[in-house]
Every structure is written in structure tokens, then in C-alpha cells.
């Protein structure tokens, strides 16, 4: 793994650390994808990290990233967007999403979800109302 | 140069309005040709078949052409507006990307000057338009329910309404508890089969295309019928200019660049612009010539002016139970028009619609689609679990009043791939619109609390909500204060008509496409009558 990839993994693991069933984004091999998405912004963000970032403790890593976020908000926002996207479309994370929230670990199609009939009884009160649209 | 194409009527743009006009004219036996800069979208291969659908929403299905930058898009100069453009180019236009919420304007929307003393009345009434609304419903395939006390009586929709889902049921009970109106949405979505189209299976992300053809998108409604009736559609054809003839009184030819990059022309008896409320004024302005130095048909100076959007606020409730808002068409469930009409006590005129949006997928939730981006770092996963699948949203859609300073012009620098200047949007949110939004935010928050939300998050003005471009070539009787007449024909250019939302006089507070299409059908019938054919 190139040093940049290792550093990007450390950044990803700080943005989305492992917790309970949730894997750390730094352990999923997403660095190359996120790096490619960011292009030069990614290299510039990594270059702005303090020396030895990967070996700092969690508090210090978070603090370092908050400083970069304050200094370069637009580029940092792109980093966060790329990281979240890569993380939440990953099959391993989708499995945890299902386990933790019940959201099915499958694409919307072709199965879809049940199209239950509309329950007209819900409209009882609305149906009792007189027309209230304004006649010109 | 290759020989000019010929047709009786040539249409620019194959979106919602162009498709309706093409069908109506072809069906009347008129030789129609439509030029569309985009192509066909293969919805059977929609990203909704894979986990990557949420990535697709941010890339090739992103609503903003400046972010998407597909080959069929054109750049939009949007630095001078808080509301970024949302549009989609291809056979079906914006309806390839839309939410398919399908309400009509109300009768009062056509009479705002008489009723409220603001803006202008339309030269057409709801009653006159009704039969084209009905025809459009029939062609589109609409799910919904007759009997809404907030709107005039009308024919029963073809299909029963979409299910509300748990979020919708809770919101409905919230509205009921407050004694406020709600009604299941009219949706341009099938809940029963129709030849060639399967009913909705509640999958959710209509914005990346519907593999079942349940969601109407004009490539699956009007276009197949138009082509069967003989209409010709040229895709990959980017119109660059309308060239006048007879000392500027008529359009002589449409100039375009075809899919191979060749510059070509269409000659026709009649021209219909259907490039939407941004693309149409852009073409009129870009076609300025010695007879029309300020832009075609622009003697009134109003081409591009009076741009109206529907400024939108987003109010989301977080509940302490699963609502599973990912199930069901994201934009169609229910709406409230309790606050649709003017009430002087609010300190502003006109009103708002509250429209429910269901939930978002995991990526959009994390990125804060309807809310705020979830923070990174420790605590992220906890917050994700608190929000995900536990939200329901109300958008506040405000009626935007026409203001001449809000406008589409041509950018002096940027051009599209064919060298046509990019449109430039200059827009400020009016005081009345801001008041309406604030009023609507307060009501939406109350409704969500009444529905049981434990937390309510407000986005006071959605940045990516420039999906309705209205009013930029308004309709009217008087050539000094309008661009087109009541039948959609330009006052100054006898064989040119406009079919899209540019012609709106005011915006109402509902999604505009049913009205755009009803007007387009009515205009097509007027053209057919002029050409001596019955509509
Ligand atoms: C994300 C999103 C959600 C929406 N949701 C809803 C909703 O729920 N309900 C609703 O009522 N409306 C909705 N809309 C709006 C709806 O899509 C539009 O109102 C409708 O498509 C407008 O129809 P139109 O014919 O005026 O233009 P469009 O459908 O935009 O079609 C214009 C066509 O003209 C073509 N064109 C433009 N310029 C040129 C040129 N120079 N040469 C050749 N071709 C050209 C374009 O490529 C395009 O295909 C939504 C839109 C978006 C983007
Ligand atoms: S929710 Fe229904 S209409 Fe929307 S894409 Fe899925 S099947 Fe099609």
C-alpha cells in the first residue's frame, strides 16, 4: 500500500471510526476510491495533515481534522461526501445497516416493496369537510 | 450543408410540453418533427437495480446540470441566485428525473390580480383549461382520489392512490388533530397495469428512472403514441438559433447541430418552442437579429423577465419509531392545502402547499439530504441510527410573485458545445416569498409535532430546488406587457408559439407540470385549428 493510501485510510477511520457493529471506514479499502473522487483536493488535504497523523490517538486525529475543516471547508466537505458515499454503498456496511435499522440489504429493484392498498377510512374527517377552495 | 429537413410543425424540446404537443398534432394528421438535444434514457437499466443508486443520484442523475455535466446538458450561469438550476435533458426532459407529484392549479390561481390585487390575471381560466387537464391525466396515467374539499370536483383518477406508508399515516393524523386539510397526492404513477407499463412496486427512488414504467415520464406516455401517429423525433439535435424571414415577421428556419456535429436547418410552417422556462428565453435572446435587436418576440422587453421558481423550504421530523420512508415513491404521498389561499392576517399574499416527502437512503441520510449532514467522528453512527428510516418531511412550496428583476439573460462568456451562450439566472427571493416560507415552516413544524415528531429540523431555503422555471415569456392579451397571446402564439412572430412554463402569468403554489401540459395541449389544438385540422 502506498503511504498516501495508508494516510487516507487513517483519515477515513477518523471520519467514520468503528463502533459496535459498524466497521471503521479505514478498514474497508476505500482509500483509492475516495482519493480518485477528490483528485488534487485529496492530495492537498493529506499534505496538510500533521506529521505522524496515523499514529496519533483518536482525540488528536479528530482535532487535526477539525483544524483542516476550518481552514479549507469546501475541499473538506467534498472529502466527507466522498467518504460517506463510499462507506454507505459498501456491501459490508449495508449488511450492518440492515442489522441495525431493518433497512433491507438489497437494491430497490427488482423486488420493490409491497404496494398496500390505500386505506380510505383515514379520510373520514377530511371527507366531512365542506369545499373550501376559493371561487374566483 | 445537408438539405434542410421539412415539416409542417417543428418543435424544439422533447420534454413534458414538447411531447404533449407532438402527440396532439400528429394525432390530428399534422406532419410534426421534434428536435431534442438529448437522447432516450434506458430506464429498464436504472441504477435502482444496484446498491449504487445513491451514487447515481449524485452523479449522472444529479438534478443540477452544472454538476452533472452530461454531453446533452448546457452550462447555466448560476452565481447570482440562491436557487440552483435543476433540469434534465433528453426524451422526456425534466420528467426523466422528476418526483411525479401531479397537482393542478386552483381556479383562484388564474385570478390573483382580481382577488388579491397583485401580479396579473391569466387570460385563461381553470374552467377553460379543465378539459385539457383531464385529457392530460388520461394520457399520463394518474393515481389519486376524487373528492378533495380543497379543490374543484373532477373526474376520478384512473388508479387508486399510492399507499401513505407509516410516515404518511402519522402525518395524516397530525393534520387531522389540528383540524387541517390533507389529501392523498395526485401522482403521475400507475398503481394498476396499463399496456406496456407495470404498476408501481413502491421501490422508492423514482429520481433514477423507473424500471417498471410505472412513473410517467413522457418517453413512456406521449412519445410512443406520438411516434405511432407519425411524429418524427431527432435526438442529439441542439438548436442554436431561430432564423427569421419576411422582415422578421415569421420564422424561416431552425438552425441546429446534429449528433455528428453537422450544422443543419429545419424549415416548417410553424415552430413551437418547448425548451422549458430557462431554455426557451435563452433561445429567443440568442436569436436576436436586425428585426428583433433585443431578442426574438421581445418588443415588450419581457423575454427572460419575471422568472418565478417555487421557493422551497424543507421541514423534517425525526420520530422515535421506524417509518421506513425508503418505501414508496419519494415525492408522492400526501399534501396539505390548508394554507393555499390568501389570508391577510399573515402579512403576505397568496399561499403555500405542504407536500410530504418520504425518507432517504443511507447515503442521502448521512449527507443530510433533507436535513443537516450528520457530523463525522465519534458519535456519527449513533446519530445515523437515530435518524435513518425515522424521518418524514414536509416541503413548503411557496407561490413566487413575478418580479421583473428576476430573470434569464445570456451569459457574456460561457457557451455550450455548439457555441450558444449559456443562460444566466439572476434571482432574489422576494419579501412576500420569504414571509410565505416562514409562515409555512411554522405550520409544517406544528404538523410534524402533532404527528409525533420528537425533533424538527428546518432548511429555510432549499438551494437545489430550481426545478420550476416559470413566467419568462408570459401570456397576455396586450403585446406591450406580454410575449405570447392567450393561445401561446408570439404577438410579434406569427408562426412561433411557446408550449412550456415560460408562458405562466403567475406561479401558483403547486408543482406546475400538469398545467404546463394542459396549456400545451390547448395550444396544439389552436395550431391544428389554424392549420385547418381538428384537434
Ligand atoms: C428533480 C426534479 C423533480 C421534479 N419534480 C416534479 C414534480 O414532482 N411535479 C411536477 O409537476 N414537476 C416536477 N419537476 C418539473 C418538471 O420536470 C418540469 O415542470 C417539466 O419537465 C417541464 O416541461 P417542459 O416541457 O417545459 O421542459 P423540459 O421537460 O425541461 O424539456 C425541455 C427539453 O428541451 C430540450 N432543449 C432545451 N434546449 C434545447 C435546444 N437548444 N436544442 C434542443 N433541445 C433543447 C431539453 O433537452 C429538454 O429535454 C421536477 C423537475 C426536476 C428536475
Ligand atoms: S417507486 Fe414506483 S414509480 Fe417510483 S421508481 Fe419505484 S416502481 Fe417506479
Mutate to test the pocket of ligand 1, among B15, B37, B358, B497 (most ligand atoms within 8 A of CB): B15
Q: Which residues contact B213 (CB under 8 A, 6 or more apart)?
A: B43, B190, B196, B197, B198, B220
Q: Give residue B3's pLDDT.
A: 87
Question: Do B202 and A91 count as a contact with CB atoms less than 8 A apart?
Answer: no
Collect the ranges in chain B with pLDDT lower than 50.
Answer: 535
Say whether A125 sits in a helix, a strand or coil.
helix
Phi/psi of residue B388, nearest 5 degrees: -65, 130
Coil, strand or helix: which one is B273? strand
- Chain A residues with CB under 8 Å of B127 CB are none
pTM of this prediction exceeds 0.80:
yes
Q: Is B380 on the interface with A (CB under 8 A)?
A: yes
Give CA angle at A14 (A11, A16), nearest 5°. Answer: 110
**CA–CA dist B534, A19 (Å, integer):** 69
List residues near ligand 1 (CB under 6 A).
Answer: B 12-18, 35-38, 63, 86-90, 93-95, 97-101, 237-239, 274-276, 279, 283, 331, 467-468, 500-501, 511-513, 516
Compute CA distances B39 → B235, B259, B417, B470, whole Å.
Answer: 5, 10, 16, 24
Q: Which of A108, A113, A132 sits opposite B48 (nearest CB)?
A: A108
Cβ neighbours for B453, distance < 8 A, ≥ 6 positions apart: B317, B318, B319, B392
Interstrand relation of B32-35 and B232-234 (parallel, antiparallel or unpaired): parallel
Contact yes or no for B107 and A112 at CB 8 A: no
Q: Min CA distance, A1 vs chain B (Å)?
A: 24
Give the distance from residue B135's alpha carbon to the nearest chain A alpha carbon, in angstroms: 23
Nearest chain B residue to A37, by CA: B59
CA of residue B87 to ligand 1 center, whole Å: 6
- Cβ contact (<8 Å) for B199 and A88? no
Residues of A in contact with B54 (CB under 8 A): 85, 88-89
Ligand 2 neighbours (beta carbon < 6 A): A 112; B 189, 200-204, 206, 210, 212, 214-215, 329
- Judged by CB atoms closer than 8 Å, whether chains meet at A134 and B199 is answered as no
Q: Give the per-residue pLDDT at B307.
A: 98
Residue B206 Cα to ligand 2 midpoint, Å, equals: 5
Least distant ligand from the CA of B36 = 1
Rounded average pLDDT per 10-residue block, chain A, 136 residues: 86 97 97 93 94 95 97 95 95 94 94 96 97 94
φ/ψ region of B299 (left if φ > 0, alpha if ψ in -120 to 50, else beta) reads alpha
- Under 8 Å between Cβ of B513 and B101: no
Contact A112 B202 (CB under 8 A): yes
Q: Pick from B49, B51, B151 the residue to mutate for testing the A interface (most A CBs within 10 Å).
A: B51
Q: Can you give the residue ranges of every domain in chain B?
A: 5-49+65-530
- SS3 state of residue A134: coil
Which of A56, A82, A112, A116 is the mutation pick for testing B, counting most B CBs within 10 A?
Answer: A112
Is the sign of the CA dihedral B410, B413, B419, B425 positive or negative? negative
Q: Would you say A4 and A43 are in contact if contact means Cβ atoms under 8 Å apart?
A: yes
User: B198 and chain A: CB distance < 8 Å anywhere?
Assistant: no
pLDDT at A1: 63
Give the residue on A whose Cα is nearest the Cα of B126. Answer: A136
Nearest residue to A109 via CA among B198, B78, B373: B198
Chain A partners within 8 Å of B205 (Cβ)? 108
Which of B48, B147, B378 has its CB closest to that of A109? Answer: B48
Residue B345 DSSP one-character state: G
- The packing angle between helices A3-15 and A58-71, to 10°, is 90
What residues of A are in contact with residue B164 (Cβ under 8 Å)? 118-119, 122
Does residue B119 sit at the A interface (CB-CB below 8 Å)?
Answer: no
Q: C-alpha angle B463/B467/B471, rounded to 5°?
A: 115
Distances, alpha carbon B10 to alpha carbons A66, B315, B422, in Å: 57, 43, 23
| Domain B5-49+65-530 CATH (choose: 3.50.50.60, 3.90.1150.10, 3.40.1260.10, 1.10.1370.30) | 3.50.50.60
Residue nearest to atom 9 of ligand 1 (CA): B101
CA–CA separation, B495 and B266 (whole Å): 14
Amino acid at each position: 500500500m502506498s503511504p498516501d493510501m495508508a494516510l487516507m485510510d487513517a483519515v477515513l477511520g477518523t471520519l467514520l471510526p468503528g463502533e459496535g457493529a459498524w466497521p471503521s471506514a479505514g478498514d474497508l479499502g476505500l482509500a483509492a476510491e475516495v482519493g480518485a473522487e477528490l483528485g488534487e483536493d485529496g492530495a492537498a488535504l493529506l499534505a496538510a495533515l500533521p506529521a505522524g497523523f496515523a499514529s496519533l490517538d483518536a482525540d488528536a486525529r479528530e482535532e487535526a481534522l477539525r483544524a483542516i475543516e476550518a481552514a479549507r471547508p469546501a475541499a473538506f466537505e467534498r472529502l466527507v461526501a466522498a467518504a460517506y458515499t463510499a462507506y454507505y454503498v459498501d456491501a459490508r456496511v449495508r449488511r450492518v445497516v440492515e442489522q441495525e435499522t431493518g433497512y433491507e440489504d438489497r437494491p430497490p429493484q427488482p423486488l420493490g416493496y409491497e404496494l398496500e392498498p390505500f386505506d380510505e377510512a383515514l379520510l373520514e374527517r377530511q371527507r366531512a369537510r365542506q369545499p373550501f377552495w376559493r371561487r374566483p | 450543408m445537408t438539405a434542410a429537413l421539412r415539416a409542417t410543425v417543428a418543435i424544439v424540446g422533447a420534454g413534458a410540453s414538447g411531447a404533449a404537443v407532438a402527440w396532439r398534432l400528429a394525432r390530428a394528421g399534422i406532419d410534426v418533427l421534434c428536435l431534442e438535444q438529448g437522447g432516450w434514457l434506458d430506464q429498464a437499466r436504472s441504477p435502482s437495480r444496484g446498491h449504487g443508486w445513491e451514487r447515481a443520484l449524485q452523479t449522472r442523475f444529479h438534478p443540477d446540470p452544472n454538476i452533472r455535466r452530461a454531453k446533452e446538458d448546457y452550462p447555466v450561469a448560476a452565481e447570482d441566485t440562491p436557487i440552483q438550476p435543476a433540469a434534465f435533458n433528453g426524451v422526456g426532459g425534466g420528467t426523466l428525473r422528476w418526483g411525479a407529484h401531479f397537482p393542478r392549479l386552483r381556479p383562484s390561481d388564474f385570478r390573483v390580480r382580481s382577488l388579491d390585487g397583485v401580479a396579473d390575471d391569466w387570460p385563461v381560466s381553470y374552467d377553460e383549461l379543465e378539459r385539457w387537464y383531464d385529457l392530460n391525466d388520461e394520457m399520463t396515467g394518474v393515481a389519486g382520489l376524487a373528492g378533495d374539499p380543497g379543490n374543484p370536483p373532477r373526474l376520478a383518477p384512473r388508479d387508486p392512490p399510492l399507499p401513505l406508508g407509516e410516515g404518511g399515516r402519522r402525518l395524516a393524523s397530525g393534520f387531522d388533530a389540528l383540524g387541517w386539510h390533507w389529501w392523498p397526492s395526485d401522482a403521475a404513477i400507475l398503481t394498476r397495469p396499463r399496456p406496456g407499463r407495470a404498476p408501481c412496486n413502491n421501490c422508492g427512488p423514482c429520481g433514477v428512472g423507473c424500471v417498471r414504467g410505472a412513473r410517467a415520464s413522457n418517453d413512456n406516455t406521449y412519445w410512443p403514441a406520438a411516434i405511432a401517429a407519425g411524429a418524427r423525433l431527432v435526438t442529439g439535435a441542439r438548436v442554436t438559433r431561430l432564423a427569421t424571414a419576411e422582415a422578421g415577421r415569421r420564422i424561416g428556419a431552425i438552425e441546429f447541430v446534429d449528433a455528428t456535429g453537422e450544422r443543419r436547418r429545419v424549415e416548417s410552417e410553424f415552430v413551437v418552442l418547448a425548451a422549458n422556462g430557462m431554455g426557451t428565453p435563452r433561445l429567443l435572446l440568442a436569436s436576436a437579429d436586425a428585426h428583433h435587436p433585443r431578442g426574438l418576440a421581445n418588443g415588450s422587453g419581457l423575454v427572460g423577465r419575471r422568472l418565478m421558481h417555487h421557493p422551497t423550504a424543507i421541514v423534517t421530523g425525526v420520530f422515535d419509531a421506524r417509518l421506513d420512508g425508503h418505501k414508496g415513491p419519494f415525492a408522492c404521498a400526501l399534501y396539505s392545502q390548508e394554507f393555499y389561499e390568501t389570508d391577510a392576517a399573515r402579512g403576505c399574499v397568496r399561499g403555500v402547499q405542504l407536500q410530504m416527502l418520504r425518507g432517504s437512503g443511507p447515503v442521502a441520510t448521512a449527507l443530510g439530504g433533507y436535513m443537516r449532514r450528520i457530523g463525522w467522528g465519534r458519535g456519527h453512527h449513533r446519530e445515523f441510527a437515530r435518524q435513518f428510516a425515522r424521518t418524514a418531511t414536509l416541503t413548503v412550496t411557496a407561490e413566487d410573485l413575478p418580479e421583473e428583476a428576476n430573470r434569464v439573460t445570456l451569459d457574456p462568456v460561457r457557451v455550450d458545445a455548439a457555441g450558444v451562450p449559456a443562460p444566466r439566472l439572476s434571482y432574489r427571493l422576494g419579501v412576500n416569498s420569504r414571509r410565505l416560507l416562514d409562515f409555512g415552516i411554522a405550520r409544517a413544524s406544528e404538523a410534524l409535532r402533532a404527528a409525533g415528531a420528537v425533533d424538527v429540523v428546518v432548511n429555510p431555503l432549499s438551494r437545489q430546488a430550481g426545478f420550476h422555471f416559470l413566467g419568462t415569456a408570459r401570456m397576455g392579451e396586450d403585446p406591450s406587457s406580454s410575449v405570447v397571446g392567450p393561445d401561446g402564439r408570439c404577438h410579434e412572430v406569427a408562426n412561433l408559439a411557446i408550449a412550456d412554463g415560460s408562458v405562466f402569468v403567475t406561479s401558483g403554489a403547486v408543482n406546475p407540470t400538469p398545467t404546463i401540459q394542459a396549456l400545451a395541449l390547448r395550444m396544439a389544438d389552436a395550431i391544428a385549428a389554424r392549420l385547418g385540422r381538428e384537434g
